Amino acid sequence: MSEIHTGYKMTCIMCGAENNEKETSTYCTSCGGVLQIEYNKARKEIQYPLGTIVPDPLKNHPSALKYLSRLSETYGATLYGKLEFEHPTGCFKDRGSYIEVQKAIELEADAICLASTGNMAASVAAYACYFNVPCYVFVPEQTSEAKLAQATIYDATIIRIQGDFTKCEALCREFAKSGNYYLAGDYVFREEGQKSFAYELVDQQDEPFDYIFIPVGCGTNFGAIYKGFKEMRAAGLIDSIPKLVAVQPETSSPVVQGIFKREKIITADSNTMASSVAASNPIDFHKVLRAIDDTGGDALTVTEDEILYSLREMATQEGHFTEPACALPLASFKNNREKFSGKRCLFVLTGSGLKDTKVVATHSLTPPVLKPDLDHVHSYINSGFVEVQRKAFGKSRDTMLANLKMDENHEKLYKDHVERMNKRGKTLRKNELEYLQTMVLNEETDLDLPVEVLDYKITMRKEELVEAGVKLLINSEEKISHDKGVGPIDAVLNAIKAETDNFLSLEVIDHEVEILSPDTDSLVIVTLTLEKDGQQWRTNGASADTIEAVIKAFEKGLAITNKTLLA
Ligand SMILES: *Cc1c(COP(=O)(O)O)cnc(C)c1O
Ligand SMILES: [Zn+2]
């Protein structure tokens, strides 16, 4: 077996100081700058900063380099995608985790820990599990269920933190110091793993690309791809490096803004559906800046609408369902068609769409559940719903929804909802109206409510349990019921259940509260997980008021239970 490297040192890209990997694998101990690996000699084979290396045990083949024939024809350029979602955990991060976990073993760490918004957690967990290294992942409470499921199946200890990624990162850094733990993340050894992208590409391509479009969060992947090319150029394997284009969502673009100012910018936490590139503190900004300068590249932003539209276009035209982040390259290409016309362009498709299905769910209509009856099926197809569904992605969606023909019963349900909101002095926004329409279309209109909550009152006293009183209508009879709980939601549910459990007992296993427009606080959606006789299901309620939404969801739960019992 040939040597893995020609000897290397770890230096700071800001102050040049040499750092010792036994002391740090994250930031420069002199100035806090970002680190890089410099090999003693250039050589044709890829070099890794390890003593020995195990061939990647999870990866089967290079990720495909795919010609995008329809998009090429449509836009008059030669367009390719590198399908990085073909990696074992569905994301390019595996390239880096593969090396980081082996570095952790070489440094004799007792465990590996990291903070992540999901993809890196899943990826490091997979490699740590394979190599029998205990793994701790710190994730924000909002992390996608699919990504959490991956970390779970790979035996990671998942630590869900109240708050966002920045909170997780700070806490995990503290945690790393509390033991002999290797702190994984967007650092120097990950870069060394992720640079294999460039080696793989050069092996696969017939001709060099003019441009490579890369979705950017922390900038680590961008820097790593550049480093791979730079090493190959030094070794004489290639003559020049393609122009590297960094793309970010307009609403989360510290790297792009920084490129124009030529200094690192840290933004407030930002909101984008491309959650895997939502990094407010882009660790590898300076590496991105240097790569763009050296290659004559560019930095571009795209809007949320453009992301949605390109996400759909990649799926419908080329068949690839990716994460929203992967729509950034196509969206930015389309915004600058003149510039890229006739060029050879590569889009880096970083992750799988199955990782984040919620984005699709919240931007489309969920089909209603129909009775098993062919007439219903036909009337549903003719309602316009299917057509709306198809066009629901992108800009035309708002106007399309207005054309939806609801049947009389659903129309009434919908109007009731809106009237209730208006009564509270709330005017709903378009996205909230759309959400309501979707929810209503999903509702069964022939549900009889066995119990209606006419009114409620919550009383809170310092250092005591919350007290709730409810006025119920049961069999046309009014009843008042009181109970206590640890919070208002708990209290109001207990008060209702104190009465209804007598004839229709129903357990509330969990509740989730989602606020659709956090700035105006107008539409709250509450989803309850209910259980009866060992069976669990979910119901939801919408209102301007959290407690009212809880009540609506529970009323519906009782109605469904009742109907099932009668059936
Ligand atoms: C992590 C990630 C990115 C961003 O990569 P950075 O190295 O943070 O710039 C892009 N897409 C997906 C799917 C990711 O998981
Ligand atoms: Zn330094």
Mean pLDDT for 286-311 is 96
User: Ligand 2 centroid vs 17 CA: distance in angstroms?
Assistant: 5
User: Ligand 2 centroid vs 13 CA: distance in angstroms?
Assistant: 7
- Residue with CA nearest ligand 1 atom 4: 217
Which tokens sit at 306? 């453009």
Which tokens sit at 111? 């465990």
**462 pLDDT band (50/70/90 cuts)?**
confident
Site residues for ligand 1, CB cut-off 6 Å: 91, 93, 119, 186, 215-222, 276-277, 279, 323, 325, 350-351
For ligand 1, mutation pick of 350, 352, 355, 359 (most atoms within 8 Å of CB)? 350
pLDDT reported for residue 480: 95
Contact call for residues 528 and 539 (beta carbons, < 8 A): yes
Among the ranges given (294-303, 325-334, 460-469), the one the predictor scored with the smallest mean pLDDT:
460-469
Dihedral (Cα; 68, 72, 75, 77), 10-degree rounding: 120
User: Ligand 2 centroid vs 32 CA: distance in angstroms?
Assistant: 6
Dihedral (Cα; 56, 58, 60, 66), 10-degree rounding: -100
Mean pLDDT for 57-76 is 97
Atom of ligand 1 nearest to the CA of 355: 13
pLDDT reported for residue 1: 45
Mean pLDDT for 260-279 is 89
- Residue with CA nearest ligand 1 atom 5: 217
CATH domain 451-566 topology: Double Stranded RNA Binding Domain (3.30.160)
For ligand 1, mutation pick of 87, 248, 259, 276 (most atoms within 8 Å of CB)? 276
For ligand 1, mutation pick of 63, 123, 221 (most atoms within 8 Å of CB)? 221
Q: Which residue has the higher pLDDT, 332 or 534?
A: 332
pLDDT reported for residue 397: 45
pLDDT digits (tens, 9 = 90+) for 36-57: 999 999 999 999 999 999 999 9
- Residue with CA nearest ligand 1 atom 11: 350
Residue 223 sits at φ, ψ, to 5 deg, of -60, -35
pLDDT reported for residue 521: 65
- Residue with CA nearest ligand 1 atom 2: 276
User: Ligand 1 centroid vs 434 CA: distance in angstroms?
Assistant: 30
Mean pLDDT for 449-478 is 90
Atom of ligand 1 nearest to the CA of 186: 7
Helix H or strand E encompassing 375? helix 374-382
Distance, in Å, from the CA atom of 358 to the CA atom of 323, rounded to the nearest integer, reads: 10
**262 pLDDT band (50/70/90 cuts)?**
very high
Task: Decide if pLDDT at 295 tops 80.
Answer: yes
Atom of ligand 1 nearest to the CA of 325: 11
| 83 strand-pairing partners | 349
User: Ligand 1 centroid vs 216 CA: distance in angstroms?
Assistant: 6
Output b/e per residue, 211-243; b: 16+ Cβ within 10 A.
Answer: bbbbbbbbbbbbbbbbbbbbbbbebebbeebbb
- Report which of 248, 254, 246 is spatially closest to residue 281, judged by C-alpha positions: 254
User: Ligand 2 centroid vs 19 CA: distance in angstroms?
Assistant: 8
- Give ion ligand 2 contacts, CB < 5 A: 12, 14-15, 17, 28, 30-31, 33
User: Ligand 2 centroid vs 28 CA: distance in angstroms?
Assistant: 5
Helix H or strand E encompassing 451? strand 451-459
- Residue with CA nearest ligand 1 atom 13: 351
Helix, strand or coil, per DSSP, at residue 180: coil
- Report which of 34, 122, 55 is spatially closest to residue 85, judged by C-alpha positions: 122
Cβ neighbors of 543 (< 8 A, separation 6 or more) are: 420, 421, 523, 524, 526, 549, 552
Ligand at minimal distance from the CA of 15 is 2
Atom of ligand 1 nearest to the CA of 224: 7
**550 pLDDT band (50/70/90 cuts)?**
very high
pLDDT digits (tens, 9 = 90+) for 379-438: 777 766 666 666 655 443 444 455 566 778 888 888 888 887 777 777 777 777 777 877
Task: Decide if pLDDT at 199 tops 60.
Answer: yes
Please, what CATH class does the domain formed by 67-85+195-354 belong to?
alpha beta
User: Ligand 1 centroid vs 92 CA: distance in angstroms?
Assistant: 8
The residue with tokens 């190599």 is 131
Ligand at minimal distance from the CA of 287 is 1
Atom of ligand 1 nearest to the CA of 119: 15
Ligand at minimal distance from the CA of 29 is 2
Q: Where are the domains of the chain?
A: 67-85+195-354, 361-441, 451-566
Atom of ligand 1 nearest to the CA of 194: 7
pLDDT reported for residue 341: 97
Ligand at minimal distance from the CA of 278 is 1
Helix H or strand E encompassing 400? helix 397-402
Which tokens sit at 233? 């150029």
User: Ligand 2 centroid vs 136 CA: distance in angstroms?
Assistant: 28
